[in-house]
Amino acid sequence: MSRIRFYSEYDMACGWELEKIVEKVNNDVIDAEWRITDLIEYYNVLKYVNIQRFSEYIVQETNINIKTYEKEIKKRIGKFVGCHKDDFIDLFDEIGFNATDDFFEILVSYNLYQRINDKYFRKFIEKDNVHIYTILKFKKLTNHFDAAIKGALLSDSRNAEIILSKYIKEVDLTLPPSLTEIDKLTLINEYIKSPLVNLNVLLEIINFPTNKGLSVTDKIKLHAKRRAKKEEEKIFSKGTVLESGVKIAYSKDQDESILVNTEGRTVDIKISQNWVRENLDYPTLWNNFIYLFGFVDSTMRLALDSKKSETGTLESVFRQQAAYLYYKTNVFNFKEMLADAKMYSYVNVLKDLGVRLEEMINWFFVDYLKEEFEIFDFIVKMPSSETSYFEKCRTILPEIDRILKQFNALIEDGIIDQELIQISSSSLKIKDVKSFNKNKYVYPTSNWYKSASFLLFSDQSSIFYLPDRKEQYSNFFTLIKNENLTKSDFEVYQLERMQWLFDNSFICESDIGHIEFVDQDIIYVLKELYYNEVISYWHYPQNIKILIDKLSARNYVSTENKLFSRNEQDYLDYYLNKSKFTNGHDIRNKYLHGTNTNEEKQYEMDYYLILKLFVIIVIKINDDICIKENTCQL
């Protein structure tokens, strides 16, 4: 039986570890001779004993006096530590990798590190099985052996990854007090030159934010950028990049409104020219973005945003990114290429038919909202057709801010008071744009969700792989959905992990022993949250809304009433500014502050991008008002 480990109070492994403790209580003799591995195991047992619900379970299963048992363990630990107070660190070679954190925790907790001289500790951290990263987790160790640990850090440029993880990912590490900022930057610069450089780390250096406690210079960022370019050429050369492309044509002899043919990563789209020509009314032209081009899905969630669930297996290795970078998967890049092609072609086809998208935007705010919903006083100023692309960009960008401010005013006051809006000169953050509708977006918030979604949908959960099956599935959900399986089809370790799903009533055994889902609705909700990261509450049937209300009451999910979902907020922020993502396009600030390029082609590309963002804003505003008015048509 494997040694007992404590991970956290809410870890899925707790149930299995408690069973091992029960077995240990019933069968082990605590007074037997200990080795360092026994010390660490009982040290972990104490962590379970000190949590009331776990200690109550142990008592229930064993009938022991838990206080007496705890005292016996502490006594034995004290005896072992007392016998090895001068050679404790020499016992390190007897433990496995998984026990290193516990080893150093004991070293610090019992002040054993104070008995080690600096010279001996220097030799200790030079050993191949001693990792400096683990030592930095313990503040007392780092401060006590300042010079030794600093020397070890600076001796290997790969330790720059540790420095960066401390600041970028805010990992709880303590760096030696004598390690200066110059030391850190020198190490990072040496890392960029090293032969074992990691492309993901280079991207972190290039996009290092300004508010993380370390000032990475522009020279170092440029150094990293040039090295990254060379590394990308190495990785993605000789056919290892999957080529993708988009072809869009407007066919004269086509009955279907749209035909899509996908071959590999190339998409060939044919749109009926007759369909567009015969349906030039503005509502239909707007709805084409929804139903023809798929800018949003059936619940009006933006379909173009980046989702973690779209990350490929190989991509997850090469393209891990820090929180301050917008997470751009290959799927995201492809979706954007597709959307941009649709946008460009559609705008130009409409132009040939005498329709300007800018006029459609003006119609929506000035005419449609007034006639359909009696919403008055919206002001929007679109650029004329004669202006250059540069002037169009400069003109239309402030209108995004004005539209969102007016929408917020409408929600707060029921009217749009233009004088009140004009008093404020501050910019409105995308995340602060409100919604008419409470509980508009639903998000997962609990460990219950994390455990369930990981076991059911992740390709890393390990409970769905059955080597004897001809058909292999990507996760446990698809396996159970498509196969009639019993517990005997799984390995013991898989059943141990699946037990959480049984205990929490996600799966059960049928009358004939087949594993099946208990409640299809809850599986559906979890699936929506896992793959889309948000649920747009008001677009679901009543039974799903009732279920969401129950989950919310139990704090398994939370709700927000914003115009944009969190993913949509990130998407817009990624293009408009750099307030959240350092790899953002910053298109609003570039034109407002004169830091844009001087290339006409770039102005044109930027303008079509801005129009795309405006289309998204129009769709989301229309959806919000339609929900309020219990109608969903433009």
pLDDT digits (tens, 9 = 90+) for 444-498: 999 999 999 999 999 888 899 898 887 788 899 999 999 999 999 999 889 999 9
* 502, 597: one domain: no
Residue 171: pLDDT band (50, 70, 90) is confident
Q: What is the pLDDT of residue 309?
A: 86
Mean pLDDT of all residues in 600-626: 95
* 312, 339: one domain: yes
* 256, 304: one domain: no
Residue 596: pLDDT band (50, 70, 90) is low
- Write the DSSP symbol of residue 562: B
Beta-carbon count within 10 A of 335 CB: 18
Is pLDDT of 212 > 60?
Answer: yes
Is pLDDT of 306 > 60?
Answer: yes
Please answer whether residues 411 and 436 qualify as being in contact, where contact means their C-beta atoms are separated by less than 8 angstroms.
yes
With 0.75 as the threshold, say if the pTM is over it.
no
* 319, 340: one domain: yes
Q: Which residue has the tokens 């086809």?
A: 349
Amino acid at 101: D
Containing domain of residue 370, as a range?
288-432+578-634
Q: What is the pLDDT of residue 17?
A: 87
Q: What is the pLDDT of residue 631?
A: 57
User: Total domain count for the chain?
Assistant: 4
Residue 317: pLDDT band (50, 70, 90) is very low
Residue 562 has, within 13 A of its CA and on its CB side, a CA count of 21
Helix H or strand E segment including 116 = none
Residue 4 lies in a domain: no
Residue 211 lies in a domain: no
* 387, 417: one domain: yes
d(CA 327, CA 389): 29
Lowest-confidence region among 52-66, 358-372, 515-529: 52-66
* 414, 475: one domain: no
Is pLDDT of 136 > 50?
Answer: yes
Q: What is the pLDDT of residue 463?
A: 93
Is pLDDT of 19 > 60?
Answer: yes
* 420, 447: one domain: no
Q: What is the pLDDT of residue 1?
A: 55
Is pLDDT of 443 > 90?
Answer: yes
Determine what percent of the chain is predicted with pLDDT higher than 90.
68
Q: What is the pLDDT of residues 226-250, one digit of tens each?
A: 998 888 777 555 444 445 578 888 9
Is pLDDT of 154 > 90?
Answer: yes
As beta bridge partners, residue 193 has none
Q: What is the pLDDT of residue 595?
A: 58
Dihedral, 575, 576, 579, 580 alpha carbons, nearest 10: -30
Whole-number average pLDDT of the chain = 90
Residue 512 lies in a domain: yes
Mean pLDDT of all residues in 555-570: 97
* 271, 327: one domain: no
Beta-carbon count within 10 A of 500 CB: 21
* 30, 179: one domain: yes
Q: What is the pLDDT of residue 16?
A: 81
Residue 225 lies in a domain: no
As beta bridge partners, residue 516 has 508
Domain end, chosen from 560, 590, 614, is at 560
Determine what percent of the chain is predicted with pLDDT higher than 70.
94
Q: What is the pLDDT of residue 425?
A: 73
* 504, 590: one domain: no
Lowest-confidence region among 24-38, 83-97, 521-535: 24-38
Is pLDDT of 122 > 90?
Answer: yes
Q: What is the pLDDT of residues 43-71, one digit of tens each?
A: 999 999 999 999 999 999 999 999 999 99
Q: What is the pLDDT of residue 238?
A: 47
d(CA 66, CA 510): 39
Of residues 612, 617, 587, 605, the one with CA closest to residue 394: 587
Greater pLDDT, 571 or 311: 571
Mean pLDDT of all residues in 326-347: 90
Is pLDDT of 319 > 60?
Answer: no
Residue 543 in tokens:
């039974």
Residue 36 in tokens:
């360092």
* 591, 618: one domain: yes
Is pLDDT of 539 > 70?
Answer: yes
Q: What is the pLDDT of residue 32?
A: 79
d(CA 172, CA 511): 50
* 27, 162: one domain: yes
Residue 318: pLDDT band (50, 70, 90) is very low
Q: What is the pLDDT of residue 634?
A: 53
